[in-house]
Amino acid sequence: MTKQQHRWNLRLKSSNVYLGTVYLGDPLPEVEDVIMIGDKKYTILELGSNRDASDVFVEEVKKK
């Protein structure tokens, strides 16, 4: 039995720029969680209505 994967199309909230697609297993991140893409950190701002294959809007975490 294979584990279900969820396809997320990541987009920047401010400009709607497509960042790429990631495939995630359970448990899925939630709004306000921080994820890494390469060497950059992004905060999840908004999840699409279909969590299996949806647009997920993020913003880059700025270094202090």
Task: Tell me the pLDDT band of 62, cut-offs 50, 70 and 90.
Answer: confident
pTM: 0.81
Q: Are 58 and 45 in contact (CB under 8 A)?
A: yes
Phi/psi of residue 29, nearest 5 degrees: -65, 160
pLDDT of residue 37: 85
Looking at residue 30, what DSSP letter applies?
Answer: -
Q: Residue 24 pLDDT > 90, yes or no?
A: no
Residue-wise pLDDT tens digits, 32-48: 999 988 899 999 999 88
CA distance 10 to 3: 21
> CB pairs under 8 A, 24+ apart, for 33-37?
34/61, 37/10
pLDDT of residue 51: 61
Q: Residue 1 pLDDT > 80, yes or no?
A: no
| Domain chopping of the chain, boundaries | 5-60
